[in-house]
Chain A
Amino acid sequence: MRPISLTVNGHTHAVDVEDRTLLADLLRDQLHLTGTHVGCDTSQCGCCTVLMDGDAIKSCTVLAVQAEGAHITTIEGLAQGPDLHPIQAAFSQCHGLQCGFCTPGMIMATAGLLSHTPQPTEAQILEGLAGNLCRCTGYIHIVESVKLAAQTLQEKSA
């Protein structure tokens, strides 16, 4: 076991992890942040996407020890204050989710995309979601959700 320290959703945690522990498992099993989901074992599905120091990453593909000193944002920490984050609101408004299992990953991937590309083209949205699988929605309402979120965030920052 190895001691590490990291900040998750603004809270600093000191935890002991195995060298092989994945960040996704640390979040879920030790910090009980079960909003981050694990949908595959080959880094394809994107259900486990979180922000690490502002970038969208797949937490099943990062060892917990690699997150030493990092700032992690999970779906539970995306909203600041009492209101939903505009991306969360947009996913509901556009019916961008059905079963909801891929949704935290989709929302966090969108957060990563819009942080560096606030006004994405359709092609940029598709590229930004290329690492996230959804089996329910056919993605059509998800793409609409991303567009609405981008628009809302633009209006807020204007």
Chain B
Amino acid sequence: MNARFTPSRQEDLPLITGQGRFTADHHYPGTLHAFVIRSMHAHARLTSIDLAAVRAYPGVRWVVTAQELKALGAGNIPHPITAKGPGGEDQKIALMPLLAEGTVRFVGQPVAMVFADSALVAQDAAELAVMEYEVLDAVTDPETATQPSALQLHEQVPRNLSVHFSSGDAALVEAAFQKAAHTSQLRVVSQRLMGVPMEPRAVVARHDAATGVTTVHTPHQGVLGMRNFLAMAAGVSPESLCVDANDVGGSFGLRGGAYTEHGVLVLATRHLGCPVAWTGSRSEIFLSDWHGRALILNGDIALDAAGHILAIRFKDCVDAGAYNCMMSTFIGTRNLSITMGGVYQVPALYMESEVVYTNTTPVSAYRGAGRPDIAYAIERLVDFAAHQHGFDPIALRRQNFIEASAFPYKTANGTTIDTCLSGKLLDRALAMSDYAGFEQRRAQALTRGKYRGIGLSTFLEASGAGTAPKDQALGEFQADGCLHVYGVTGPSGQGHSTSFARIIETALGWPADRVRYEAGNAKHKLLGNGTGGSRSLYGAGSAIVAMCHQMLESLKPLAAQALGVSADEVHFDKGLWTGPQHSISTAQLIDALPQAAQSSLSVMGEATSGSTFPNGCHVAEVEIDPDTGVTELIHYFAVDDLGQVISPQLVRGQVHGGVVQGWGQAFCEQVVYDAQGQLLTGSFMDYAMPRAGCVPHLRNETYEVRTQLNLLGSKGVGESGCTGSLPALANAVMSALRPYGIDQMDMPFTAPKIWMALQARI
């Protein structure tokens, strides 16, 4: 089929013809299907569980509670990264058991699982479960969770405080504030969100008793990470697990680790001796996928009389939800601190954060994982301070940008930024958006009764440093005529195969359409990071560059031989080996080799790549209808420095997706709990999602400044759209409302919220 069609990405053909293989597409004969019985209370003691009728229901094969799991040696939900207090105090950790033990702490927490002949039978049987609860008060507000009056969620954690973290120099900052000519304070909330990958979380597990290996199909962000986290959750060895690299229907940070269903299904297939499957309904996903954001950021800024920033200080409240699951601590400590000075040369920085428990779904990474939030807080704070003290917000930014001569620049709290040419990006964005003509457009809009606003962000983020010591890529020329490359990082929509093939074509001259990338085949025993923190392209990509360099070394004598000259007479450039008289392409050279010689070119490349510093300038222009409160996004312009761009079309797509997720947070999305901890936004009927047309006119460009921090020269693109858009959109809305006396409002900027705010001031 499709001999005459070349897809724009290697990944596309199966996905546009219905041949993709997502988790729930795996059907094995004899599979038992699982249903999860979840807590209906936010905080309660489980006083009795009667599952006799469930067990007796025809077609039910196994019902499991915490008690049975304990006997099988189950572990807990992983929490891989911890933090210390300012005096080196250990963090208090409340790990989430796979199934609730005695107390439930959020609505939707798994209590028991039913395995039956079909998913419907399992669900029908689960209806017969009788659970008795002694309901306790719920703690839902993270800011009051640490007060003595708040009920304590975990016996071992006083004040519901998991860790108090700080970074920077408090005394230096205080001294700067003492001598400041101007100070401003701004409290912003980055509200709790749902990540909402379109593929619901699902697990299919199949144990092979002969080999002792359990194969697991599930959406993930890299098979190695998932395998380790699965092992922790199930309490089994990683070597006894094989995570399949099937198609993944979006990840956005939520797929990085194991959930209850992963751990229980691994144990279930071993216990039952047959394949087991579970697919979450979207309602369950709303209750039980880790939530995102849930941060309250209190910023202070000190300026001198000329508008130079003297110090920035943050006091952050980090809602971890009911337990420490996966990345909440990392978000609330490292990610809120490392770029807290933004793109500005700030002599004194200090932040402290409290990671606290509430009776809500645990929080983990969602696109940017704290970085969009802190960029939002800084760029709102700078904008707010400029207006409060009569500075032009553009000029104030410009005079505080880190000077080009200062790079590599070490921030006051220890982050070293290699390069960030904010002034250049700002110039371009101002030109693209005709910023200078805005006041005219504002006046014109007012004649139509509309309040027009323009907002800007100049932002910086730090992409993922990675948790593996290095990234490796193994390349093999195989009999099918293709270069097969094996790595660790697995795609969930980013187009890894396409970009990696292009890197190879550029570095080696081998045609991209004859490269096959495969993620996560455990037999190769490769090291590497999963997909996360926007680092796949430059992390795995740098390993691939190293692999190509080694191949070029091996090819050089072969090229010389083929051209009939000595090796030092051969020159390689753009895929062509050139001698004094003749040339031969890499593909011609390799294709002419016997298979054994081709095989001997196989090599593993590796690279160690840390964080990079993607940065950008985004401009949004909005019109608000004061009669309805509806905000229309008129234009959106994005200029991003992502370093070396490999696939321009894919980069555009990543920025689009990120900006629109930012639009979602800015204008419609929010997870809402009531005071009892009941989730009020439990489906797409009440959790508003961006739809087609919400960002109709988006122009994005790149301003490529190669980084020397990795072999590829690239930075990360995955999260920059989100990071740039939150402050740009919010500043645009505030720009529109400021003439009417409104200079701060928290997201989402829904029509009723804006309408009511305007009504209160008219």
A residues with CB within 8 A of B: 18, 20, 28-29, 32-42, 44-45, 47, 74-76, 79, 82-84, 88-89, 91-95, 97-104, 107, 122, 125-126, 129-130, 132-143
Contacts and interface: CB of A to CB of B under 8 A. Distances in A.
A101 B255 CA distance: 15
B44 to A, nearest CB: 25
B8 A135 contact: no
A142 B1 CA distance: 24
Nearest to B492: A99
Interface of B: 1-5, 7-9, 11-22, 24-25, 27, 120, 196-200, 247-252, 279, 281-283, 492-495, 649-650, 652-653, 656-661, 683-685, 689-696, 698, 721
Contacts of B120: 18, 20
A138 B657 contact: yes
A101 B249 contact: yes
A37 B22 contact: yes
B252 A126 contact: no
A141 B494 CA distance: 14
A135 B653 CA distance: 12
Nearest to A139: B692
Contact of A140 (B249, B656, B684): B656
Contacts of B8: 92-95
Nearest to B693: A126
Given A74-B18, A130-B692, A79 B1 contact: yes
Nearest to B653: A95
List the 5 closest A-B pairs by CB distance, nearest first. Answer: A35-B18, A100-B15, A101-B249, A99-B493, A138-B660
B2 A83 contact: yes
A100 B249 contact: yes
12 contacts: A37-B199, A38-B200, A39-B199, A47-B198, A83-B4, A89-B16, A95-B652, A98-B657, A133-B684, A138-B661, A141-B652, A143-B692
B199 A83 contact: no
Contacts of A138: 653, 656-661, 690, 695, 698, 721
B27 A76 contact: no
A35 B18 CA distance: 4
A47 B183 CA distance: 50
A132 B689 CA distance: 10
A24 to B, nearest CB: 11
A152 to B, nearest CB: 12
A58 B219 CA distance: 24
Nearest to A90: B16
A75 B198 contact: no
A132 to B, nearest CB: 7
Contact of B7 (A20, A92, A130): A92
Contacts of B252: 135
B19 A35 contact: yes
A102 to B, nearest CB: 5
Chain A contact residues: helix, strand, loop or mixed: loop
B198 A45 contact: yes
Given A92-B16, A97-B16, A98-B495, A126 B692 contact: yes
Given A134-B198, A135-B661, A92 B250 contact: no
B18 A36 contact: yes
Contacts of B694: 139
Nearest to A34: B25
A103 B656 contact: no
A50 B721 CA distance: 32
A127 B721 CA distance: 25
Contact of A76 (B18, B492, B657, B698): B18
B494 A98 contact: yes
Given A92-B8, A139-B660, A139-B694, A99 B199 contact: yes
A130 B689 CA distance: 11
B1 A40 contact: no
Nearest to B656: A138
A133 B684 CA distance: 10
A122 B698 CA distance: 15
Nearest to A94: B8
Contacts of B250: 98-99, 101, 135-136
B197 A75 contact: no
Contacts of A101: 20, 22, 197-199, 247, 249-250
A67 B650 CA distance: 39
A21 to B, nearest CB: 9
**Which of A97, A132, A137 is packed against the most chain B CB atoms within 10 Å?**
A97
Nearest to B251: A99
A79 B13 CA distance: 12
Given A41-B281, A130-B692, A76 B656 contact: no
A143 B494 CA distance: 19
A84 B5 contact: yes
Nearest to A47: B198
A36 B492 CA distance: 18
B656 A35 contact: no
B692 A125 contact: yes
B753 to A, nearest CB: 23
Contact of A84 (B2, B493, B653, B692): B2
Contacts of B650: 95
A108 to B, nearest CB: 10
Nearest to B650: A95
A44 B685 contact: yes
A135 B198 contact: yes
B551 to A, nearest CB: 30
A101 B282 CA distance: 14
A75 B660 contact: no
B17 A40 contact: no
Contact of A137 (B27, B657, B683, B691): B657
A74 to B, nearest CB: 7
Given A101-B249, A136-B250, A141-B652, 18 more contacts: A29-B27, A44-B685, A44-B689, A75-B18, A92-B8, A92-B9, A95-B649, A98-B653, A99-B198, A99-B199, A99-B247, A100-B15, A101-B198, A133-B689, A134-B692, A138-B658, A139-B692, A142-B692
A143 B693 contact: yes
A97 B684 contact: no
B20 A100 contact: yes
Contact of A44 (B9, B683, B721): B683
B305 to A, nearest CB: 43
A20 to B, nearest CB: 8
B689 A100 contact: no
A77 B201 CA distance: 27
